[in-house]
Amino acid sequence: MKFLRVLLLFTFFAGTLSAQWSMNPMINTVVCDTAGLQKDVRLTSDGAGGVFMVWRDYRKGTNSSDIYAQRLDSLGFPLWTKNGVGVCTLSADQSTPAIISDGRGGVLIAWSDWRSGIERDLYAQRIDGNGNLMWQANGAPITTEIAREHSQKIIRDDHGGLIACWEKRVGSRWDIWAQRIDSSGQAVWANGGISACTNNSNRINHKAQRDGKGGAIITWQDERSGTYDIYAQRLNANGQRLWGDNAAVVCIANGVQTTPKIDPEKERDGVYISWIDGRNGSDYDIYCQRVDSNGTSLWGPGGMPVCTATDNQSAMDIVSNNKINGVIITWKDKRSGSFDIYAQKLESTGSPQWTTNGVKICDALNDQLNPNIISDKDSGAIITWQDERGADWDIYAQRIDKNGVTVWANNGEIVCNAIGDQEAPKNIPDNKGGTIIAWKDERTSAFDDIFAHHLFASGSPNSIWDVKNIGAVSASPNPFTSQIQLSMELTKTEEVAIELLDILGIVQSRFLMQSKVYTTGTHELNLKLNDNSLASGIYFLKLSTPSGSKSIKLRKD
């Protein structure tokens, strides 16, 4: 028995040493900490539980930035060159990187580029899973017209290439244009791209989504009526405008409608589009519309209200998939006087499913900003945000289930509370119900770096939920004081070591560890501390067997 305990402890610490993801939210995992400023990180899944990242990088100096990228595997280990692969490192300035999977194990990246010295153009690069650049050095051109072209958004074309859309300066107004680039880096549509809409009006703040047929659905705010409304267009794989030259109306309600977000709607091969809405004339609310593959709005001419609470709601983000059966929307909300994070689900009919005007995700002290939402792969969502409850800006996250119940700690799990400011988090699914989050971080110097963190579906940074032979596990009370009631289900007779670890992964000797053979079935154990001198804070109750381990995150009062 003693030998097994020592072996299990050795296995745990060996696993800790070999695992790259840090359990400590004050340490996290370094993505890039080279000289200069790194910011504007964007993420996409690698399809294997890891992540592709791209960012804007000033390692050569403050006069211009380059584009760098990195891949982390499911354990958090970097697979490419330390501090990233140079995607475009020309002396001219490159900015606003965008990233998507190419659907073939690699990644597609696009950016705004000043290499012409006249105006900004757009370029792209394809990188395989090993970090090799597949197109010409420093990128293949998307558009190099004399007019300014910027703010590119990209989706994959389902054939190894991409469709890009952007804002283009046309005389005194802005227009939305698009181009398709094939898997070899060659433009497919007309030279310079095509306009998403021929109406002579100002169009900005566009977003794009795949249409499931090799084309794109694009939405934007449109000034043709004298105030901004929401319109959308579908382009097929050949660049034809399927919803008419003037595009499809999404919302033309009174007041201003701005900054739409878009996500796919699978049942009718359409999209969900949400936006900030000023129709009430006094503040801004959140509305949403469901649009089918023909460009028909299914939720009436003005869309469905998501939140019409007092004061302003803004900065929304949305997610939908087959399991959600509708759309989940999150936003920052000033109804309390400072900005908090809320969320709401609309089912496919447009009916709100959760609390009127949204479920509170976080209303901690001071402001919470920049919410970013992903699917939890189980009909719910995971939201991360930038949080001012402490002395600096930190990063937090929360998981919400299909019923609108927050699953993790009240006001969110800590992702990063290192010194200095952490800002602008983005996250992607880890394919196991958890999340990988990255952000810009100033802990090391006056310049920002890129850091990342991993949370499992439980909200813990070190839980392993696919261990053989251990079924359901729960512990109470949480927070605990001097004892913990553990419920443990085993699918076969197994020897289990039970330990209490602090946030650094160190076993606490004051805990009365129990290691013995337990039979198949459910066991209720009363675990007592030898004394009550453990400091208040975060701990992990760890169950270890020869086949692996599970951990439960607890707090001690």
CATH of the domain at 549: 2.60.40.1930
Strands 494-502 and 548-556: unpaired
User: Has residue 47 been placed in a domain?
Assistant: yes
Q: Look at residue 427 and tell me if it is in a domain.
A: no
pLDDT in tens, the chain (557 residues): 333 333 333 333 333 333 579 888 999 999 999 999 999 999 999 999 999 999 999 999 888 999 999 999 998 999 999 999 999 999 999 999 999 999 999 999 999 999 999 999 999 999 999 999 999 999 999 999 999 999 999 999 999 999 999 999 999 999 999 999 999 999 999 999 999 999 999 999 999 999 999 999 999 999 999 999 999 999 999 999 999 999 999 999 999 999 999 999 988 899 999 999 999 999 999 999 999 999 999 999 999 999 999 999 999 999 999 889 999 999 999 999 999 999 999 999 999 999 999 999 999 999 999 999 999 999 999 999 999 999 899 999 999 999 999 999 999 999 999 999 999 999 999 998 999 999 999 998 767 999 999 999 888 886 544 456 777 788 899 888 888 898 988 888 888 888 888 776 677 745 555 568 889 999 998 888 766 678 888 888 888 776 666 778 888 88
Q: Token pair for residue 7?
A: 């072996």
Whether 388 maps to a domain, the answer reads: no
Residue 51 lies in a domain: yes
3-state secondary structure of 83: coil
Classify residue 174: in a domain, yes or no.
Answer: yes
Q: Indicate if 487 and 530 belong to the same structural domain.
A: yes
Do residues 6 and 76 both lie within one domain? no
Residue 153 in 3-state DSSP? strand
**Same domain membership, residue 37 and residue 160:** yes
Q: Which structural domain range is residue 130 located in?
A: 26-195
Count of the separate structural domains present in the chain: 2
In terms of domains, do 61 and 139 share one?
A: yes
Residues 6 and 73 in one domain: no
User: Quick one: 6 and 32 in the same domain?
Assistant: no
State which of 195, 229, 245 marks the end of a domain: 195
Please check whether residue 360 lies inside any domain of the structure.
Answer: no
6-36 in b/e burial notation, b at 16+ Cβ within 10 A? eebbeebeebeeebebbbbbeebbbbbbbeb
Among 171, 195, 219, identify where a domain stops. 195
**CATH, residue 88:** 2.115.10.20
Of the three residues 177, 195, 213, the one that is the final residue of a domain is: 195
The token duo for 109 is 């990246």
- Residue 94 in contact with residue 112, Cβ under 8 Å? yes
Assess whether 70 and 137 both reside in one domain. Answer: yes
Domain match, 57 and 125 both: yes
DSSP code at position 196: S
Q: Is the domain of 6 the same as that of 147?
A: no
Residues 521 and 486 grouped into a single domain: yes
Compute the half-sphere exposure of residue 476: CA atoms within 13 Å on the CB side of its CA. Answer: 3
| 101 shares its domain with 185 | yes
